[in-house]
Every structure is written in structure tokens, then in C-alpha cells.
């Protein structure tokens, strides 16, 4: 290229001022970039200057060096264009290296000015500038060696393949050597792969021994082609890093050290350059360095796909995308979590066995009232020297069989035992219902704790990101001499504290997940996705719409508490359990009273069969002056008996007194339990009402804290406030954000206590039951003389 003498800086005198824009080639985000740049330039230039963007000054090249050169030269030669912006690395490279410029140019995407041997000078403020009349450019300041060192903490590698646009390599031949030399400084063996239009060819060109891949901006690829490239890297289990930032990590690349190239900040930087040129400054005196916001971002789904497990130090420092483990496709909502717990919980399963045993106890108590049948058999033999044998009174041997049957005709005590055991079984079943409520409550609170812990972790990570941003501000202030080194160290210490908070928040989340899995009898470390909770869900019983309608003021809330208290007393398994015990004791008292005059009446019968047996032969022929009766072979008896103890030493009187005292005690215990239940219910409602009313208030407080933080940060960056003021504002904002983000879950946890105190959970109610609940609520308010819709 022939060297053209440098021209003096152009004096831009225009109204309106036409801005030209050249893109390297068609890309999916060109429209987004163009809109940002145009909007920012118009806003910053007004009202003194009117910026326009004529169609004739907008060029989209074809990604080739010749095509880009033609587009740039075309706009430079257009007398109707006052300032040129190059929105691509190839166009920016050509604009910087072409020589003299007849009009101001802002080259917006310069990748590496040292490698590209671009002009660099230092102005009086210590800022790097081009020093060339009419030429300003923007370069993303970074340290390649430090970048590679950080990436090697994510995944160790020795052989790194760079994927670089082939058009860019053609336009900037020095780029390949610079990338290679930077890698070798960090003891990395590089391989530079030019990427054209074929993704398959690029993937095939990656050396088999490559440990990792670094993806530079491949702006020429269509979205589908880029996604194919990402999938191809995953299929080869290659960890891939993105130069561009978070957006590409979200699409499947493993990691990036940067947020997405902040187009809004870049647009504002370019707009300020344009405004300064319009104000008469030389573009060659404008700063070129643009510091990108550094944030390590990891795609955890990609990490799992390629078998990578980053260290704790990495995951706590990074923003984790797609961090929800598949968990076998399990996804829980509040209702399903509660129902699973009540269905599968081992404590409930154990109690079910106790109830099954109790059913048999009832049968055992009822058995004496049924006919009792007994059978027996015996075989008798006698000593030959026995006098009975000598006299012929007994045979030598005799078999005997008997069959007996008995039936209690009347026994109040036996009937009482059956009744008492039946009430005891009812009590056991109500105890099971009570435990089921406790399990449902614990599962609901456990689910909400998982949701809340997840939010806490996210907020702590966001706070860590904010601290990193403040560190970058402190480093910038340090570079320009308005901050001391202690400020940078203070923010570095704050980052360490914030990372520990992230670790603690992650541990809290895991603990909450384990607790919920235990209640659901699932593998304790099983991961699952969770769904948000709709405050208007009728299954919440005291949903947002119910509270707004029926508890919108003090009187309405008082009526609502009365209604819920009546529901709690009617539905409480604790009270039903005591009722069963009271009924059992009442029957015991009656039985004890009747025992003084109520006999036990029973009927019985026996049949005895006995063979005559065999005696000595001499006895059979013995002649005697008298005869003996031989026993019958079959005998039977039948009788009815009545038994009434006349004196038991005072035991019956004592039993009656004891049963009466136990009955009085149970009645008092029931009254006390009813008071506790009503107290619990009313207290829970007051707490839930307060937390519900506080949702909007804490959101307002969080908004105010965010606004205050923004003001303090601006003042800090301008040197008007010390670092401690910013730390205090950040901590206040953190607390406010946590309260705002979890206010809904605080209310829901309080509401689950209301459910438990009421003795029922709406999750187990079918639509008819929910409708009946609503009808009772409306009737209660009607009887109380209060119209919810119009107020008292």
C-alpha cells in the first residue's frame, strides 16, 4: 500500500450530521448493534447536534477483505457522510491501516492493537490514543497471559486450539503469530484454526491432541452453524472458551471470562467520541482503551456433558448457567412435594403398621363375645395293683374325648373393653392424621426453604459480581491516580468474604434439598427442579385474593380469624384424638358403675365320650354278690351361670373413682388443647397477615436501597465518597434485596403454619371441598353482618 501523507484533523461543521456505518458482513445481531449505536449517538449529540444515519452511508460487506475494503472506501468517498464508524474487526483494521483519512473515523472493534501494529501514543492525561489525525479506535483491553492462566484454573490444558475467522486472519496476518506467542508465554502449545463457512471443516482441523478450544468472534457464522460448532465440540468432549462472553456460554460453550461485550457501554463510548469530534476535538486525541467487565461464567450443563467437574474455587467464583441437575427429569411444585411426602414418608409408613396392629387389637377385644369352643382328649391307664382295678371299679386303660362350647350372654365389662379398644383405634388413626399434617407442613416449609435458599444463593452471587465491578472501578481509579492501593486491597478482601457467603448459601441450599428429600423418602442427594408458587392458588385457602377480599381491614381480618378458628376446632385431629380418649374413658366409667350390679351371664355345654376300656380277664369272670354300674360311653352337660362379685376389697369403687378422675383430666386437657389450637391459629394468621402486607413494603425498600447504591457508586467513581460509604450502601442493598426476594416465601411459610393450625391443607382438597370451604366462608361473613366487598 502506498503511503499517503497524513492530513490535518478535519473540522466537522454539519447540521444535520450524517454518520456512516460499515459492517464486515451479514450477522444476526447487526440490527441490534445498529439500533444501540444510533440511539446512543442521537441522545448524546442532542440538542446541539442532530445526528442522522442515511441509508447511503450504511454498508454491509461480504466478510472478505476486498469486500470490506470496498465498503469502507465507498463511505469515505461519500461527500454526504461526515463521520464513519466501522462495526467489525476487518473494517476497523482496514480503516486504521489505510493511511490518511479525509474525515473522522471511529473504528469500534480493534482486537489487539499491538499485534496489528496499530499506532499508539499517550496524551497528556496518560491515556492511550492513536495519535493519528481523524482516527480513533476502540480496543478491548485485556492481558492474554493472565486470561489463559485463569482459564487453566477452570480446566487444565497444555494444547489449545484457537478458532479464528479466516477472513480476519487474512486481513490481519500478524494476529496468528501474536496469538501463538501469547500462548507460548504461558507454556501452552497453540494451534490456530481458520474458520470459514464450513463448520465440519473447522472441527476436522482441530488437532486430535488438543485439550481445549478458544473460540474468538466468529461473527460470520449463522446461528445454526454456530450451534452446530458448539455441539461438535461437546461431542468431542472438548472444553471451549468464548472470547465474546456470556451469550455464547449460554449457547453451549463451556466458559468465558467476560460478560457479553457490553453494547450499551460501547455504544455510549462511541457516542461520546462522536460528540467530542463534533465539538471540535481531533479523533486522534481520544482514548482507545475499553475495559470489559470480567465475570467468569460457566455452563454447567456443558460441563456435565463433557465430564468436567470444576473445583469449588471455580464454581464459587463464577456465574453458573444451567446449573439445575436433570434429576431424572423430576420437577416439583409445592403441591406435588407435599403429596409425595404424605404418601412415601417412612414415619407415616411405620405408624400405618401400628394402626394395622390396632385393628387386630379391636378384634381381640371383641373375641370373648363370640362363642368359645374347646376340645380335649385323654388316655387313662392304671397300675395293676391299684385297688380300683382289683375291685373292678376302673379298667386297665380308657380313652376319653370331650367337646365344650360357651357363650357369654351378657357381660358389660366385655362390651366396655370392645368399646374402649374401638375408641383407642380411633385415637391411633387421629394420631396418624396429626402426624400426616406435621409431615405435610414440614414438606411444604421444606419446599419453600429450597426455593428461598436458591434465591439467597443467586443474590449472593450477584453481590459477588457487584463487588467485582467495584474492584474494577477501584482499579480504574488507581490507574488514574485518584485512589490508593488500599482501596483495591479492600475490595479484594470484600471479594473473599463474598465468595465465602456464596459457599455458605450453596451449602444452605443443599441442606434444604436433603431435608425435603428425606421427608419424601427419596435419595437424599437427589436433585430436582422447582416451580414458583402462585399466591392466588385457591389451594392456599388464605390466598392473596382471599386475604384481599376478606381481610382488607381490621374488622374484616378479625372476622376471618374467627372463621378460621371455627374451622380449626372442627378439623383438628388433636381434638378428635382427645375426643376418642374421652369416649373410651366415659365408657370405662359406665362399666365401673355397672360392675356393682351387673353380673356376667354365660351359657356352656360339654359332651364327653369315653370307651369302657379293657380290664383283667380274671375280673370279667369274677362272681360277686352285688353288681357295679358301668360308666356311659357318652355324657353331656348344659348349664347357665351368672356371676356377680359381692366384695372385691374396694377395688371396684377405686376403679370407678380412678376412671372418673381420668375423664375429668381428659376433658380439661381437651379444653386446653382447643385453646392452644386457637392461639396457634390466630397467632399464625397475624404473622401471615403481617408478612403478606410487608411484601410490597420490602420491595419498595429494596428499590430505594438500589437507587441509593447507584447514587453512591456514581459518587465513589467520581471520587466524591470514600470506599466505606459504598461498602455500607452495598451491604444495605444486599440485605434489602434478600428481604424483597424472599418476602413471598416468608409469607408462604407463615401461611403453611396457618394450614397446620387449621388442621387441613388445601393441597388435599378436591374442587368440591374447596368450593364448600368458600361457601362456608361467605356464610360466616353473612352471619357476622359483614359484607367483604363493601366493607363494614
C-alpha cell at 558: 378479625
**C-alpha span between 473 and 322 (Å, rounded):** 29
Please state, in angstroms and as integers, the Cα–Cα distance from residue 524 to each residue in 331, 357, 752, following that order: 16, 30, 23
Instruction: Please tell me which of 145-159, 192-206, 684-698 the model is most confident about, judged by mean pLDDT.
Output: 192-206
| C-alpha 632: how far from chain center | 87
Find the mean pLDDT for residues 300-321: 88
C-alpha cell at 648: 372385691
What's residue 250's pLDDT?
93
Given pLDDT bands bounded at 50, 70 and 90, which one contains residue 151?
Answer: confident
Cα 751 from Cα 534, distance rounded (Å): 13
Q: Is the pLDDT of residue 261 over 70?
A: no
pLDDT, residue 574, reads 92
Query: Which residue pairs, CB below 8 angstroms and at least 24 apart, start in 762-769?
Result: 762/537, 762/538, 762/539, 762/540, 762/541, 763/334, 763/335, 763/338, 763/339, 763/440, 763/444, 763/539, 764/339, 764/342, 764/440, 765/539
Give pLDDT, residue 618.
Answer: 46
Q: What is the pLDDT of residue 393?
A: 52
pTM for this model (two decimals): 0.73
Q: What is the distance, to the nearest Å, from the Cα of residue 328 to the centroid of all Cα atoms in its chain?
A: 16
What is the pLDDT averaged over residues 14-39? 89
Task: For residues 674-698, give the mean pLDDT.
Answer: 88
Tens of pLDDT, residues 447-467: 999 999 988 888 888 888 888
Query: What angle is formed at CA 368 by the lines to CA 365 and CA 370, rounded to 5 degrees?
Result: 115
**Residue 5 — very low, low, confident or very high, per pLDDT cuts 50/70/90?**
very low
- C-alpha cell, 388: 380300683
Q: Pick from 94, 35, 98, 83: which is nearest to 61 by CA?
A: 94
Q: Where are the beta strands (DSSP E) in 227-386?
A: 240-242, 255-258, 289-291, 294-299, 319-321, 331-332, 372-381
Owner of C-alpha cell 461519500? 78
Rounded to an integer, what distance in angstroms lies between the CA atom of residue 611 and that of residue 288? 126
Q: What is the pLDDT of residue 613?
A: 55
Looking at 98-208, list the stretches that DSSP marks H as alpha helix, in order from N- to C-terminal side.
144-154, 166-171, 174-185, 199-205
**pLDDT per residue as tens digits for the range 93-143:** 888 888 888 899 999 888 778 777 788 888 877 788 888 899 998 888 767
Please tell me the least confidently modeled range out of 349-353, 424-428, 669-673, 693-697. 693-697
Distance from C-alpha of 96 to C-alpha of 118, rounded to nearest angstrom: 7
Contact 713, 726 (CB under 8 A): yes
CB contact at 8 A, 84 and 106? yes
- How many Å apart are CA 357 and CA 362, to the nearest integer? 9
Residue-level pLDDT at 1? 36
User: What percent of the chain has pLDDT above 90?
Assistant: 28
| Residue 614 confidence (pLDDT) | 53
The rounded distance, in Å, linking the Cα atoms of 22 and 95 is 10
Q: What distance in Å separates the CA atoms of residue 251 and residue 563, rounded to the nearest whole number?
A: 53
Q: CB–CB of 295/261 below 8 Å? A: no
| Whether the predicted pLDDT of 327 surpasses 50 | no
* pLDDT tens for each residue of 574-618: 999 999 999 999 988 998 888 888 888 888 888 888 766 555 544
Question: What's the angle, vertex CA 505, arms to CA 504 and CA 510, rounded to 5?
Answer: 95
Q: What's the distance, CA 330 to chain centroid? A: 12
Residue given cell 472470547 in the structure block: 243
The yes-or-no verdict on residue 3 having pLDDT over 50 is: no
Closest CA to 72 of 55, 51, 94: 94
pLDDT in tens, 210-236: 999 999 888 888 889 999 999 999 999
Higher pLDDT, 174 or 311: 311
Q: Are 51 and 19 in contact (CB under 8 A)?
A: yes
In Å, the largest CA–CA distance within the chain is 170
CA–CA gap between residue 644 and residue 601 (Å, rounded): 9
The closest alpha carbon to 355, from 416, 436, 442, 417, belongs to: 436
Beta partners for residue 291, in sequence order? 141
Amino acid at each position: 500500500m502506498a503511503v499517503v501523507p497524513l492530513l490535518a484533523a478535519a473540522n466537522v461543521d454539519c447540521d444535520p450530521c450524517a454518520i456512516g456505518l460499515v459492517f464486515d458482513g451479514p450477522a444476526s445481531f447487526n440490527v441490534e448493534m445498529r439500533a444501540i449505536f444510533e440511539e446512543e449517538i442521537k441522545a448524546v449529540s442532542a440538542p446541539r447536534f442532530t445526528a442522522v444515519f442515511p441509508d447511503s452511508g450504511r454498508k454491509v460487506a461480504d466478510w472478505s477483505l476486498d469486500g470490506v475494503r470496498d465498503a469502507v472506501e465507498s463511505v469515505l468517498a461519500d461527500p454526504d457522510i461526515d463521520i464513519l464508524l466501522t462495526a467489525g474487526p476487518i473494517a476497523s483494521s482496514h480503516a486504521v491501516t489505510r493511511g490518511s483519512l479525509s474525515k473522522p473515523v471511529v473504528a469500534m472493534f480493534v482486537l489487539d492493537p499491538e499485534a496489528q501494529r496499530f499506532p499508539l501514543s499517550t496524551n497528556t492525561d496518560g491515556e492511550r490514543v492513536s495519535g493519528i489525525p481523524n482516527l480513533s479506535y476502540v480496543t478491548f483491553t485485556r492481558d492474554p497471559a493472565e486470561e489463559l492462566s485463569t482459564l487453566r484454573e477452570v480446566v487444565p490444558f497444555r494444547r489449545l486450539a484457537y478458532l479464528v475467522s479466516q477472513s480476519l486472519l487474512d486481513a490481519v496476518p500478524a494476529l496468528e503469530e501474536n496469538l501463538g506467542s501469547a500462548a507460548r508465554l504461558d507454556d501452552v502449545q497453540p494451534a490456530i484454526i481458520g474458520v470459514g463457512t464450513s463448520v465440519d471443516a473447522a472441527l476436522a482441523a482441530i488437532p486430535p491432541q488438543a485439550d481445549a478450544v478458544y473460540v474468538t468472534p466468529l461473527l460470520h457464522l449463522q446461528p445454526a452453524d454456530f450451534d452446530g460448532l458448539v455441539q461438535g465440540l461437546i461431542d468431542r468432549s472438548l472444553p471451549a472458551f468464548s472470547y465474546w462472553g456470556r451469550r455464547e456460554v449460554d449457547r453451549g460453550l463451556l466458559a468465558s471470562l467476560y460478560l457479553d461485550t457490553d453494547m450499551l457501554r460501547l455504544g455510549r463510548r462511541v457516542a461520546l467520541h462522536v460528540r467530542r469530534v463534533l465539538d471540535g476535538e481531533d479523533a486522534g486525541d481520544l482514548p482507545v482503551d475499553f475495559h470489559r467487565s470480567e465475570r467468569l461464567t460457566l455452563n454447567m450443563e456443558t460441563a456435565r456433558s463433557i465430564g468436567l467437574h470444576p473445583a469449588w474455587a471455580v464454581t464459587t467464583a463464577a456465574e453458573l448457567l444451567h446449573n439445575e441437575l436433570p434429576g431424572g427429569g423430576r420437577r416439583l411444585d409445592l403441591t406435588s412435594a407435599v403429596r409425595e411426602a404424605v404418601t412415601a414418608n417412612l414415619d407415616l409408613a411405620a405408624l400405618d403398621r401400628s394402626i394395622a396392629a390396632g385393628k387386630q387389637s379391636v378384634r381381640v377385644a371383641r373375641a370373648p363375645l363370640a362363642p368359645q369352643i374347646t376340645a380335649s382328649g385323654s388316655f387313662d391307664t392304671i397300675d395293676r395293683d391299684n385297688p380300683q382295678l382289683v375291685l373292678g371299679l376302673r379298667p386297665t386303660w380308657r380313652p376319653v374325648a370331650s367337646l365344650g362350647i360357651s357363650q357369654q350372654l351378657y357381660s358389660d365389662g366385655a362390651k366396655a373393653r370392645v368399646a374402649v379398644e374401638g375408641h383407642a383405634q380411633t385415637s391411633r388413626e387421629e394420631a396418624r392424621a396429626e402426624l400426616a399434617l406435621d409431615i405435610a407442613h414440614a414438606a411444604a416449609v421444606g419446599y419453600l426453604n429450597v426455593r428461598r435458599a436458591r434465591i439467597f444463593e443467586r443474590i449472593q452471587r450477584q453481590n459477588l459480581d457487584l463487588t467485582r465491578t467495584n474492584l474494577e472501578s477501584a482499579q480504574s481509579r488507581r490507574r488514574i491516580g485518584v485512589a490508593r492501593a488500599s482501596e483495591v486491597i479492600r475490595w479484594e478482601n470484600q471479594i473473599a468474604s463474598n465468595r465465602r457467603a456464596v459457599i455458605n448459601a450453596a451449602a444452605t441450599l443443599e441442606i434444604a434439598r436433603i431435608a425435603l428429600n428425606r421427608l419424601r423418602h427419596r435419595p437424599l442427594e437427589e436433585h430436582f427442579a422447582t416451580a414458583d408458587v402462585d399466591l392466588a392458588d385457591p389451594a392456599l385457602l388464605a390466598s392473596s385474593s382471599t386475604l384481599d377480599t376478606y381481610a382488607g381491614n381490621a374488622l374484616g381480618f378479625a372476622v376471618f380469624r374467627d372463621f378460621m378458628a371455627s374451622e380449626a376446632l372442627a378439623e383438628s385431629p388433636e381434638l378428635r384424638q382427645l375426643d376418642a380418649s374421652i369416649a373410651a374413658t366415659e365408657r370405662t366409667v359406665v362399666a365401673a358403675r355397672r360392675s356393682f350390679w351387673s353380673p356376667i351371664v354365660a351359657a356352656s355345654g360339654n359332651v364327653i365320650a369315653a370307651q369302657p376300656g379293657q380290664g383283667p380277664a380274671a375280673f370279667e369272670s369274677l362272681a360277686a354278690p352285688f353288681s357295679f354300674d358301668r360308666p356311659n360311653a357318652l355324657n353331656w352337660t348344659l348349664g347357665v351361670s351368672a356371676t356377680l362379685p359381692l366384695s372385691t376389697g374396694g377395688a371396684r369403687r377405686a376403679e370407678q373413682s380412678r376412671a372418673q378422675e381420668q375423664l375429668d383430666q381428659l376433658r380439661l386437657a381437651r379444653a386446653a388443647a382447643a385453646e392452644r389450637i386457637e392461639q396457634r391459629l390466630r397467632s399464625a394468621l397475624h404473622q401471615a397477615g403481617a408478612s403478606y402486607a410487608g411484601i410490597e413494603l420490602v420491595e419498595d425498600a429494596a428499590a430505594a436501597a438500589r437507587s441509593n447504591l447507584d447514587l453512591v457508586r456514581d459518587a465513589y467513581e467520581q471520587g466524591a465518597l470514600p470506599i466505606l460509604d459504598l461498602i455500607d450502601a452495598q451491604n444495605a442493598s444486599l440485605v434489602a434485596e434478600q428481604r424483597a426476594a424472599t418476602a413471598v416465601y416468608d409469607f408462604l411459610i407463615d401461611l403453611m403454619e396457618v394450614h397446620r393450625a387449621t388442621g387441613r391443607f388445601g393441597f388435599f382438597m378436591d374442587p368440591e371441598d374447596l368450593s364448600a370451604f368458600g361457601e362456608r366462608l361467605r356464610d360466616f361473613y353473612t352471619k357476622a353482618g359483614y359484607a367483604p366487598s363493601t366493607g363494614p
